[in-house]
Amino acid sequence: MPFAHLGLSAPITQALTDLGYQAPTPIQTKAIPVALAGKNLIAAAQTGTGKTASFVLPILERVIEQQPVRPKRVKALIIAPTRELVLQVEKNIIAYSQHLQINTLAMYGGVDSKQQKQKMLDGIHVLVATPGRLLDMYTQRAVRFDELEVLVLDEADRMLDMGFVDDINRIIERLPEQRQNMLFSATLSNPVRALAKTTIHKPVQISLVHDENAKPQIEQWAIPVDKDKKSALLSQLIQQHQWQKALIFIETKHGAAKLVTQLEKRGIIAQSFHSGRSQEVREQVLADFKADKIQFIVGTGVVARGIDIDDLPLVINYDLPYPADEYIHRIGRTGRAGATGQAVSLLSKDDFKNFCAIERRLKQIIERRIVEGFEPKKALPVSDLNFVPKSKPATSRKSSQQRPTELAKSRGAKDHKVNKINNNKKGLPEKFTNNSFKTDSYINKSTKTHSNKNHTESNAKNNTATQTVPNGSGSFNPWDKSNN
């Protein structure tokens, strides 16, 4: 069936002919008529099936008769997770609109925003943007959404894997309620469905993938090790398992540079990836990684979230992240579209509190594997997902009486002061009658919740046995409904 039969106009079909397109793909055949009708749409198809044309061509049809757009305004907004994808979509728009008068702009971070702001003054028919830069430009009043007609979330599963859900929600809150919404994804995982439910009203759903393909299968395991031996352990693991490619997450730029140096001394080719390196250098590192010129990228958490690579077999947590959701975003780089992947964490005592928080978030005990010669000097406590913290009782009756009452708190400073005087009738110094009593609980610097503090305290007091056996199954699907 030719493209013209889908309802596309002559200038667009001519551009497709010029590009050598002969017939629409299955996803294009199903999605384009729905999009042309102005209906909300959720579409899932594997990478390389022509999803981009499925939403770009209907958008071009919609804006083909539009009057010039006012400064800073946008008619259609396409949000994509990475600079690379944004540029690719813009390239397709330019190709498909070669016989039209269309203003388009790619908006992404890592470059000076001055040119992007200047281009926005011309008014844009189709804006393609990464979430972070778009929010930044909106905050600077360089972009206005009051005339927006179409929103597209492209590669929605990847955006969620990379932790952009909050940014996406903030953007959507600022858009007009009356608009067409389209979501395209390689999978229909639980997070994608949840996003669609809150974003898209009564959509037409098209899926050319099986549900099984939407479930990442990630083998997770952790290796207890002292912090000063992590580098040597990592090198041994790479050589022992003959790992050829991995993304290694670390907490600091200095740590990334130091680890790269240590790996290279052992003959392992690696490059650092962090905000201290220019955008141009980071792009070259990523290109070399994809071309297998380097084996390993050592990246800090926030910056490395922008890395998007198909068929990545392994993610290594050199340092464990906080909060626990960041761990899910990290390991989501592997095990995509039905493929299997591995997520390995090097677990020192400094990481243990984060590790406990991660296990509670996943509702899964992660298997621990001991590597001979790298056993930690002091064994870490066992995991206990069933631990329920209890409120700590008052240390004494006197202490309880000396606390200002909740009634005093609600009455304001004057009544509060009177209450403090009454509580001090036994002649105690005022510093002992305020509400700043210390407790014996260990304060978790990495975890902010009371639950996490008590969990750690209980494990530290009650579990002193060496943990040297697998501590549960290592295979986990963090997007399965049963784990949420």
Average pLDDT on 340-358 reads: 93
Residue pLDDT, tens place only, 53-66: 999 999 999 998 77
CA 229 to CA 232: how far, in whole Å?
Answer: 5
pLDDT digits (tens, 9 = 90+) for 239-263: 999 999 999 999 999 999 999 999 9
Name which of 320, 346, 305 is nearest 221 in CA terms.
346
Quick check: 455 pLDDT over 60? no
Nearest residue to 36 via CA among 148, 147, 182, 153:
182
User: In the predicted model, is pLDDT for residue 204 greater than 50?
Assistant: yes
Residue 130 has pLDDT above 90, yes or no: yes
Residue range 371-379: average pLDDT? 95
pLDDT band at 336 (very low <50, low <70, confident <90, very high): low
Q: pLDDT-derived band of residue 279, with 50, 70 and 90 as boundaries? A: confident
More confident site: 465 or 218: 218
Tell me the CA distances in angstroms from 197 to 169, 243, 269, 460, one per residue in order: 12, 39, 44, 42
Mean pLDDT of 351-364: 90
The amino acid at residue 415 is D
Query: Is the pLDDT assigned to residue 428 strictly greater than 90?
Result: no
66: exposed, middle or buried (Cβ count in 10 Å: 0-12, 13-18, 19+): middle
- 211 band by pLDDT with thresholds 50, 70 and 90: low
User: For residue 453, what pLDDT band results from cuts at 50, 70 and 90?
Assistant: very low
Most confidently modeled range among 151-160, 307-316, 444-453: 151-160
What mean pLDDT is predicted for residues 400-420? 42
Q: What is the mean pLDDT of the chain?
A: 81
In this model, does residue 448 exceed pLDDT 50? no
| 385 vs 241, more confident | 241
Q: Which two tokens stand for residue 444?
A: 């978790």
Q: Given pLDDT bands bounded at 50, 70 and 90, which one contains residue 308?
A: low
Query: Which range, 280-294, 296-310, 390-404, is most confident?
Result: 280-294
Secondary structure (DSSP) of 323-371: SHHHHHHHHTTBS-TT-EEEEEEEE-GGGHHHHHHHHHHHTSPPEE-PP
Task: Please give the domain boundaries of the chain with CATH numbers for all domains.
Answer: 3-213 (3.40.50.300), 217-385+462-483 (3.40.50.300)
Looking at the predicted structure, is the pLDDT value of residue 45 above 50? yes
Mean pLDDT over residues 399-424, rounded? 42
Q: What is the pLDDT of residues 89-122, one digit of tens each?
A: 999 999 999 999 999 999 999 888 999 999 999 9
What pLDDT does residue 334 have?
A: 82
Which pLDDT value is given to residue 158?
83
What is residue 175's DSSP assignment?
Answer: S
Percent of the chain topping pLDDT 90: 53
What pLDDT sits at residue 46? 75
Residue 404's pLDDT band (cuts 50, 70, 90): very low
C-alpha span between 333 and 313 (Å, rounded): 9
In DSSP terms, which residues pair with 345 in a beta bridge? Answer: 222, 317
Instruction: Please state which of the ranges 138-152, 272-286, 302-316 shows the lowest mean pLDDT.
Output: 302-316
CA angle 192, 196, 200 (to 5 degrees): 165
**Residue 286 reports pLDDT greater than 90:** no
Amino acid (one-letter) located at 289: F
Using CA atoms, how far apart are residues 209 and 214, in angstroms rounded to an integer?
8
How far, in whole angstroms, is CA 64 from its chain's centroid?
Answer: 35
- DSSP assignments along 210-229, one per residue: -GGGGS-EEEEEEEE--GGG
CA angle 305, 311, 314 (to 5 degrees): 65
Residue 446's pLDDT band (cuts 50, 70, 90): very low
pTM above 0.85, yes or no: no
Of residues 81 and 477, the one with the higher pLDDT is: 81
According to DSSP H, which parts of 37-174 are helical? Answer: 51-63, 83-96, 114-120, 131-139, 156-161, 165-173
Are 317 and 346 spatial neighbours (Cβ–Cβ below 8 Å)? Answer: yes
The residues that bridge with 221 in the sheet, in sequence order, are 344, 367
Q: Which two tokens stand for residue 478?
A: 């963090």
